[in-house]
Structure 1
Amino acid sequence: MKVSWCFLVISAICAAIIEGQPSTQGFTSIDCGAPSGTTYKDSTGIFYVSDDSYIDTGKNYNIDPKYTSTSNQALTLRSFPEETRNCYTLWNVTKGEKYLVRATFLYGNYDGKQMAQHSTPLQFNLYIDVNLWRTVNITDASSEYAHEVVTVAANDFIWVCLVDIKAGTPFISALELRPLKDNLYPYTFPNQSNAILFRLNYGPTKNVTIRYPDDPYDRIWPWYQYDTTMLKSISTTASFTRYRDDQYEAPFSVLQTALTPVSSSNLPTVSFDAPSNNPNFPGYYTVLHMTELQELSGNQSRQFDIFLNDWIWVSSLTLPHGMAYYRSDVVAQLYSNIKFTLVKMTNSSLPPILNGMEVYWPITMEVNQLTSAGDVKGIMDIKDDYNIIRNWNGDPCSPTNFSWHGVVCNTDEPPQITSLNLSYSGLSGKISFSFASLQSITYLDLSHNNLSGDIPDILGEMSKLQVLKLSGNHLNGQVPDTLIKKNNSGLLLLLSEAYHWCTTRT
């Protein structure tokens, strides 16, 4: 296995950091399954809302009272027993910007079926837009499972979808979105997201979890539980400075503690395995956060090598004092088992230290498979115009086996809607101008509804429309000349009582 010898170049230009209460502007924080209209601030000071404005499928439940949680969000959940794919639409995003998305799951035997067992785990797939994020694997009814992904918004919204794989009913307890600076997590691109395997805080002497407001991006940093006979904690209350191009910005509360060996010259990190059942697994990126907490004096020195398995990953590393420092992969590592070990050099008087660690893996984003943005906006406007209640969520065309009921798409990149059948759908009111947003549509069936009013001229401007079915409604007024001419010339098949009434009168 060839190991990259290149590392992120950290600028020598530093910036003093003045830490205040960070803003929650741009945060979306959803308590899934909470009663409609619920709003509250949790213990972190983050404002949470119920999920009824983000999804229109699923059922609300409370976890079994014998299970508890330290977070309000995990006490309720939304379950999806009916449809195969169910999607949340996160609107508070800007196309091209970078975001952290976190989904949290606490089963809590909400359905009384005791589904989450080590022998028979509850499993379902989690998607970001139209791309598989991961398989959720729940083996303990009392544990919270939190999964994070860093992604670039392909549109002015992000879909998070739960897909039934016939291994238990999908559900979700909380869904959160956090805006990130563009320079953070540098290997996140429009065609590549990154899912977090784990993130750890080395050095706390008790079980504490760092998140907002200590981390302004509300990343979760659980503590690393260590063997006190092998490792010891060191800490400081001193402030730090950052390099201007810091690409991970570990919070200072994480950097203020570290682990170091008690007597050995080596400091091992946790080891982790690649999925054995996935030959196409792309590998892992690793970030080690290391900051010198002690002001060394005299002949004191701290210098060490970092080994990735049996290879030197970093050689002769000396840490700057009081600086937020890290080392990261520039390519994903494809070992079946990965272990980093920090090894004291012979000329060093002090052993290695480690403050924090992050590991994540890339997800290929099929951005060309997302339905054309104009078609998505048009079909969503149609859904809102008529308050259509059906499983119309997530991408209308992709993946093809989850395309919306009544919607047919072409195979272009990006896909476009070519056919829409809304007959017998209980539509009422006027014909929406939003139908004209579907520029590639050839077949439109609005028959047998309660539509009324005029047939709008804009339907005649839909250049590719070949079949328009309007019969079985309460339409009146004149049929637009453009539609009559297209029908008479054979370019359009128009089926409408209003058209026949008009032609018989003339």
Structure 2
Amino acid sequence: MMDTRTKSLLFCLALIHAIQAQDQSGFISLDCGLPANSSYTTNLTYISDAAYINSGETENIDLYKNSYEQQLWTVRSFPNGTRNCYNISNITDGTKYLIRASFLYGNYDGIRSPPIFDLYFGDSLWVTVNITSETYTFNYEIIHVPSTNKVQICLINKEAGTPFISALEFRPLPDHIYSIGSGSLLLAFRYDIGSTSNIPYRFPYDVFDRIWPPINNDKYYDRLSTSLTVDVNQSENQPPAIVMETTIVPKNASRPFFFIWETGDENIQYYAYLYFAELVKLKPKQFRGFNISHNGNYWEGPIVPDYLSTSSIYNIKPLDPGKHHNLTLTQIENSTLPPIFNAVEIYSNIEILELESDQGDVDAIKKIKSTYKVINDWEGDPCIPRTYPWSGIGCSDESSPRIISLNLSSSNLTGFISTDILDLTALQILDLSNNDLTGKVPDLSKLSKLEVLNLENNNLSCPIPPELIRRFNDSLLSLSVKCNNEIVVEKKEKNKVVIPVVASIGGLLIIAIIAGIVFWIARSKRKQEGNDAVEVHRPETNTNVGDSSLETRIRQFTYSEVVRVTNNFVRILGRGSFGAVYHGMIDDIQVAVKMLAPSAIQSHDQFKAEECILYLYLVFHI
């Protein structure tokens, strides 16, 4: 227990530090789950996260609320979608930031099942969040220099519980601190080693709002403290003065100081930041000095802490790799006093990739989203993280990813096919099937890389743009489309597109007479027909040879019916200038099916005349 004098001193020091560190310039403090347009101020000013994300559900923590800081009283949970992303656009590019995400489960959902999920920064996995306790606050920090004025932070559902978040914070840092040459830093741990208060210190004691939790070392170490102010301004990383005003020393003066941690990955590169300040006014014959070794190898020293002044010891190059790390502080030969240790930070190296999708694709897909009111998980960058793009979207594996596939099948789309799709110039696959789209099919052939187009089961009208048919015929496009409920063009493989016309076969009698009659009827009844009709001509003759009349009946067939009639086009009877001719059966009657190639569409009338002559020709040969 602290006496009244000690408490008064701590209170006065707190006031001093608070006065010196009130500047929150550049701070972004988001209370996740706080109602939109809300804010409050404790030591820090927090605002709602609602302006930075359009998904998730807000929840309250009631059971443990009074034991935690206010920003932890609410959470935003994400029961829907694989990815849910925050988009922070009011940062300063080129500025070094400490970025922290905080998670307090607190059994907010009442099911006592803490989740596991991934946290992504840009295109990089920041950390797998494993909530192992209901009552513990999990803080994850990185030190990073954003390359643009916006960043994206995503929570990824791993089917191991519902992702959630309590707070998200950005703190600008001076350029000269935490410099390792390249890459970014991921906090492994940070400790106030000599703490006498058993509470974590942060802003306003720490001007950068780092969190310094205490660590219990009473078994082997004694605590020292001072009521005087320790200068931290000479230290490069400026730890809080209140942290530096306490320290520990070994109870056994001849015993080295061991600081040990284990890791499951021996390839992790660690960076150590150690802080020392002499708190005792040494007598003339007293001297404190020590060396630091890592895993038995000399690292730094001799370290001679200055009285009431902070020294920072750190490594620009990473520590030697290994699964076991032991920092040992050993008294040097002429030292009369044991080592001291005030505070420590350990970071590992992390590579953060801040990729962005092609801006033209981003603009186009956002317009498509607005047109069709697609909401699901379409937030942030459509292709980043590349492992988890927007649902229904496929992206290329490039430094500036392109959208190469778009699948909005069965998405309740209505209206016309958006011409904004034409701005997705790298698109290879487009599936808009099973919706309620209307109007004409736009000339999607302008998408030069398009290989698969599925527009089935909509209410589209014809004609199909000729250029799409040509590309289909040239084996450049797999096409599935139905328009006016009459024409079906469906190819799952890259073969030539065809429009079928079926001519029936009558019998083998009086070929010459019938040929003349059929040719005359074809010429007299020829009409201009659009490409959006399928005609099936079944000329039926009277058995009276002397009767020159010939009744013609027209019936329409769908493409699937023609496939069935021809047994999937298994038997070819011949080929002509307008296309191939296939054998088929309709109601036990042999028929010839001539497939009109797209290149012959403009000569459709001529084809219809030829089909009647073809009728006689095929009767003779079948």
Question: What's the offset of the Cα at 1:283?
Answer: 3.2
> Hey, what does 1:480 align to over in structure 2?
none
> Hey, what does 2:51 align to over in structure 1?
53
Matched, 1:240 2:231: yes
Matched, 1:304 2:290: yes
Matched, 1:268 2:266: no
> Hey, what does 1:177 align to over in structure 2?
170
Unpaired runs of 5+ in structure 1?
A: 1-16, 117-121, 475-483, 498-503
Question: What's the offset of the Cα at 1:206?
Answer: 1.7
Question: What's the offset of the Cα at 1:156?
Answer: 2.8
Equivalent residue of 1:254, what SS?
A: helix
Question: What's the offset of the Cα at 1:288?
Answer: 0.5
Unpaired runs of 5+ in structure 2?
A: 1-16, 484-531, 533-622
Question: What's the offset of the Cα at 1:305?
Answer: 1.0
Deviation digits for residues 191-244 of structure 1, max 9, x if unmatched?
x33211110112221212111122122111111222066322223523525348
Aligned length: 463
Deviates most, 293-302 or 282-291 = 293-302
1:342 to 329, 336, 347: 329
Question: What's the offset of the Cα at 1:134?
Answer: 1.7
The one-letter code of the counterpart of 1:235 is T
- Conserved in 2, the CA contact under 8 Å of 1:21 and 1:213? yes
Deviation digits for residues 450-472 of structure 1, max 9, x if unmatched?
999xx9xxx99999889999998
> Hey, what does 2:507 align to over in structure 1?
none
The one-letter code of the counterpart of 2:81 is E
Q: How does 1:43-442 map to 2 (within 5 A)?
A: 43-49=42-48, 51-65=49-63, 68-116=66-114, 122-187=115-180, 189=182, 192-227=183-218, 230-240=221-231, 242-243=233-234, 246=236, 248-266=237-255, 268-275=257-264, 278=265, 281-296=267-282, 298-329=284-315, 330-367=317-354, 370-372=356-358, 375-376=361-362, 379=365, 383=369, 388-420=374-406, 440-441=426-427
- Conserved in 1, the CA contact under 8 Å of 2:122 and 2:353? no
Distance 1:373 1:194 in 2: 29
Deviation digits for residues 118-145 of structure 1, max 9, x if unmatched?
xxxx322222222112222222212211
Question: What's the offset of the Cα at 1:400?
Answer: 4.2
Structure 1 pair 307–110 and aligned structure 2 pair: CA distance change class (3 A): same
Structure 1 pair 429–28 and aligned structure 2 pair: CA distance change class (3 A): farther
TM-score, normalised relative to structure 2: 0.63
Equivalent residue of 1:402, what SS?
A: coil
Alignment RMSD (CA, Å): 4.3
Percent sequence identity over aligned pairs: 36
Distance 1:158 1:67 in 2: 30
Question: What's the offset of the Cα at 1:384?
Answer: 6.5
Return the structure number with greater helix share: 2
Question: What's the offset of the Cα at 1:71?
Answer: 1.3
Structure 1 pair 284–423 and aligned structure 2 pair: CA distance change class (3 A): same
Question: What's the offset of the Cα at 1:33?
Answer: 2.1
Distance 1:95 1:386 in 2: 34
Distance 2:295 2:18 in 1: 38
Structure 1 pair 384–44 and aligned structure 2 pair: CA distance change class (3 A): farther
Structure 1 pair 65–234 and aligned structure 2 pair: CA distance change class (3 A): closer
Deviates most, 426-435 or 349-358 = 426-435
Bigger-Rg structure (1/2): 2
- Conserved in 1, the CA contact under 8 Å of 2:117 and 2:155? yes
The one-letter code of the counterpart of 2:253 is S
- Conserved in 2, the CA contact under 8 Å of 1:61 and 1:77? yes
The one-letter code of the counterpart of 1:251 is P
Equivalent residue of 2:196, what SS?
A: coil
Structure 1 pair 170–241 and aligned structure 2 pair: CA distance change class (3 A): closer
- Conserved in 1, the CA contact under 8 Å of 2:121 and 2:152? yes
The answer to which structure, 1 or 2, has the higher relative contact order (CA under 8 A, 6+ apart) is: 1
Structure 1 pair 193–434 and aligned structure 2 pair: CA distance change class (3 A): farther
Deviation digits for residues 26-61 of structure 1, max 9, x if unmatched?
2222222223333211x3132332x22222222222
- Conserved in 2, the CA contact under 8 Å of 1:104 and 1:145? yes
Distance 2:314 2:100 in 1: 22
Deviation digits for residues 104-126 of structure 1, max 9, x if unmatched?
1111122222224xxxxx32222
Structure 1 pair 171–230 and aligned structure 2 pair: CA distance change class (3 A): same
TM-score, normalised relative to structure 1: 0.75
Structure 1 pair 22–163 and aligned structure 2 pair: CA distance change class (3 A): same
